[in-house]
């Protein structure tokens, strides 16, 4: 049996469909389709074999994940007013190329696209890495706004990753660490994450048998979340 490998080049302008969850209702939401057909002649009988294969299309540099999302902004100003924000983010990137990448990771105001700040970024071929990025700069307002993240160099920029922001009067105590017992959903850890609180999910065994003073720091708080629905 002879096996033949065919290389297909994806056009530069092919629409990106990664992450799939944000492209579900677009014509290209399911990615690129390959229609492969082979014609066999077996004992004077023609056999036509057709296989349809779909593949996702990702940008050269993909922003895989951004946390926290959404992000809390602690401010004394009204949410409709301009404000200076300072939020630490953890951003996971993948270089899908076979060559190194050198460029910038940038944050933009979600309303008008004004630059907030950026940082240099270098990725080896195929490298996946999580970077710490402190977004530090002005935004036009907080209410119904967001932060856009993108990766760029002199010739190319990635699709935007959007993170909503919201105003809160909550203040996080220094060195606070929260242990929580999660309910049926992730609303509690998501809320802690949005506020920038260091947290750890505890299992039933942790609570029953572990020395919690070693599991969490001495300044920690343990939160249990009870939920019920009719």
For 118-131, the pLDDT digits (tens) are 999 999 999 999 99
Instruction: Give this prediction's pTM.
Output: 0.70
Same domain, 184 and 206: yes
Query: 67 and 20 in one domain?
Result: no
Taking only the tens place, the pLDDT of each residue in 16-37 is 888 787 788 888 888 888 888 8
Same domain, 47 and 84: no
Per-residue model confidence as pLDDT tens digits over 33-68? 888 888 878 888 888 888 888 888 889 999 999 998
Residue 135, Cβ density class (10 Å: 0-12 exposed, 13-18 middle, ≥19 buried): buried
In the chain, which ranges are E strands?
32-42, 45-55, 61-67, 71-74, 83-95, 101-109, 115-123, 128-139, 145-152, 161-168, 177-181, 198-201, 221-224
Give the domain range for residue 76: 61-168
Same domain, 118 and 91: yes
Total structural domains within the chain: 3
């Amino acid at each position: 049996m002879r096996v033949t490998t065919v290389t297909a080049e994806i056009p530069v302008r092919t629409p990106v469909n990664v992450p799939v969850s944000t492209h579900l209702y677009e014509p290209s939401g399911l990615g690129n389709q390959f229609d492969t057909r082979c014609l066999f002649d077996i004992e004077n009988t023609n056999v036509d074999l057709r296989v349809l294969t779909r593949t996702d299309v990702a940008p050269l540099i993909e922003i895989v994940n951004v946390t926290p999302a959404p992000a809390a902004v602690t401010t004394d100003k009204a949410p409709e007013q301009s404000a200076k924000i300072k939020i630490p983010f953890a951003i996971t990137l993948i270089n899908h190329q076979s060559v190194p990448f050198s460029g910038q990771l940038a944050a933009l105001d979600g309303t008008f696209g004004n630059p907030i700040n950026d940082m240099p970024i270098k990725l080896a071929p195929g490298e996946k890495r999580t970077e710490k990025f402190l977004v530090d700069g002005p935004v036009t307002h907080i209410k119904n706004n967001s932060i856009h993240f993108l990766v760029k160099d002199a010739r190319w920029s990635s699709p935007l990753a959007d993170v909503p922001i919201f105003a809160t009067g909550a203040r996080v105590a220094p060195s606070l660490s929260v242990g929580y017992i999660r309910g049926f959903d992730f609303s509690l850890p998501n809320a802690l994450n949005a506020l920038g609180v260091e947290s750890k999910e505890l299992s039933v065994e942790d609570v029953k048998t572990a020395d919690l003073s070693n599991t969490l720091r001495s300044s920690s708080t343990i939160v249990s979340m009870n939920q019920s629905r009719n």
